[in-house]
Structure 1
Amino acid sequence: MESNRDEALKCLAIAQKHRNAGNFPSARRFCQKSLSLFSTAEALKLLDVIDSEASSESVSSSASSSSAAGSSSGSAPFTSSAEAHPSASGTRQRHTGLGADSSKADKKTGGSSAGESSGTQKKREYTPEHAAVVKRVRSCKVTEYYEILEVKKDCEEVEIKKAYRKLALALHPDKNGAPGADEAFKLVSKAFQVLSDPQKRAAYDQHGSDPEDRFGGIFEGELSPEDLFNMFFGGGMGGAAFGGQPMFTATFGPGGFRTTRVRTNVRPERQETQSRSIFVQLLPLFLLFAFSLLNALPTLFGSTSTPDPRFAFVPSPRYNVERYTGGLGVKYHVNSAEFSGHPIAAELARNENKPGPELRRFEGTVERAYTQDLYAKCQRGLDVKQRKKELETGMFGFGTDWEKVRKIDEEVVESCEQLRNMGLLK
């Protein structure tokens, strides 16, 4: 995950210090921790260097101990360099890809020396289970992120993290030497980066493609036609229909214009009540749209030359200054150095820390990103509840435990509650 990159680089620096000091086990441990946080080419290269230097040191120490044993009366048992290596006990169980070929080569050469044999065995080790995991992951399309991690589309974030941890350990280049393991590890890491980020996951669920390639700024601009249409007619609010009639949702994405027909079952006696409440339910969305339009007015006749400051909703060493928007009171975080040097900070200084048009426009972008993420989570939560109800009631409702159905209806979807508390959802 991109937010772990800074911590991964810190671990990599610590690993380098331990390596320089000759403490190879500690260097290996911190290097592996860096890779588990965020895989980089530098960490993979350093891990290979550490393994190589540790092996060289083990060979030297073994030779020294062997010489000492020959000259002393009480000789200690000989220990090979492979046994001295920290991962030697595990490597004996692994398939090296050499096997019978190595023994045949020994017979042809009349038995080569141990030094020559250890110098030629450069192939990375793996087990049949490792090869099977690599084959399964690489058989997936590069953007089938749920299939790559073997999780369901409506799964919770904790399941995504659990699946990633399992696959990352199985595919890590230091543990899995099967052909294609590096590529499979990158696919798993990419899937986790997208699905563990709420904004990217929502974009991926909507468009089915890599949000970083095609929709890198989807949460930083104004409301798109698709977002606006779905917010008004139910596409982003649980599929509310008008009077029980078929409802159409539209997609204006790069793939062209698409429509989807959805029919909902609404009892006739409730149609009149729902029609009266439609305007009340949509009123907060009208207000949000009007607020966004007002924020966009200063930029209609000109564009800012400086891009908006980057922000995040979770604090980190990079985003270390906490702020709240002036509209909905959304908490967000910015980089202190970047924000203090931005024209928005200069505007605040001129206005004696009172918000000006540039700050209001920027915080409007922050609020849209936050609320769109909440709408996506609310949608998924309502879908989960609906599926649970359908499983409980069955096709005709015979033998249904209606008390369980009532409890399912009463389950709270946290993201929907947040929208209601902000006045954006009835």
Structure 2
Amino acid sequence: MESNKDEALKCLRIAQKHRDAGNFPSARKFCQKSLSLFATPEAERLKESIESAASADSAGPSSSTNTNNGNATTASSSSTETHPSVAGAKRRSDAKVDGTAGGMNGEKREYTAEQLNVVKRVRACKPTDYYGIMGVKKDCEEADIKKAYRKLALALHPDKNGAPGADEAFKMVSKAFQVLSDPQKRAAFDQHGSDPESRFSGMSSSGFSPGFASPSPFAGGFDGEMSPEELFNMFFGGGTGMNGGAFGTSPFGGPMFTASFGPGGFRTTRVHMNGRPRGAPQGETPQARSILTQLLPLIILFAFSFLSMLPDMFATPAVPDPWFQFTKTPMYDLERQTGNLHINYYVNSRDFNAHPKIAADLAAGQYRRGSALSRFESNIEQVYTQSLYTQCQRDINKRERRKEAEIGFFGVWADWEKVKKIEAEMFPSCEELKRLGLLK
């Protein structure tokens, strides 16, 4: 079962340790236990290796006993070659050649040539070449990224791949999937080409360096965030300095305006005109004319805005529509009927007849579309029908709840005659909507 796989891998590692130490009975025992828990190709190969090593170890002493007594030196050397520690060392050296790598605590981790090639391909990519690491195209779909990750994760997982550098390759693949599987991080990576989780990844390389004064506040280009002080100084002559410094100069020959934002709030300092103190006499200069030329578009814009507001300032305020309601009272004494849905409503006769636009429509004796009277009655019909819709929906919801309560659990003990009576109930609001042709 898949749940026994981890335990089987543990037994397999223990069997490898016993085999390397020359303890073949214990190695055979744990290898067999691993196969019984979860059969793997690695366990089968290890079992064959243990059997061959055990047979070679048992054949060593017998060959040494059959030698001549006069060849004691040869027998001694033969028994030395088959000593468990020597045989274990030889097997360890052979294992590296056959495709195993040392893991943690000296354990052996096997790998194939194909797994080694995958590790080499991933390690050859740059750490931020996420598309190259995953082996997908830049315009691929999210499903392709997930498919590539599943394939690489199975090939590079430390429990399955013992090739040198497999752990680092697996981390690179996990990082690439973490970025490319997130739409926001992937968009940021496609835009900047760097790790979106890095604090410097959003900074543009086209920014300006401190001390550079561009002719225009916008000429240098700046994609990063700006502090309120830098933004304020940029627009009001302080240049595009950093940390409150003023790198640009005003047309008058010095800093025209500086500002600072701190614990004390907003503070302004120094207004210089050609180096003269404030209040000193000064005449019109070419620099002043230049400033006036720059401000001319703003002056024209404010002038047009002011002119556009003049009609509203001097126009006669609109007269509000008369009050109305749907029941007759001493105040609302005049009964009328809308021209479209023929809904009865009541207004105050004095206020209604005193309305200038409605009075003009009444005097004309025509119900014109788009007139003040038509718009007034259209609003009345909207209020009336909306109220009916709300009440009708409320009554229908109450009826459905009563019906469900009567049916109960799967209608086992339901009184179906009572259920039919509930379904046949009619409501005045819904019937009025049907009469008006607004509900079927």
Would the TM-score normalized by the shorter structure come out above 0.5? no
Instruction: Select the structure of larger CA radius of gyration.
Output: 2
Greater relative contact order (Cα < 8 A, sep 6+):
1
- TM-score normalised by structure 2 residue count: 0.30
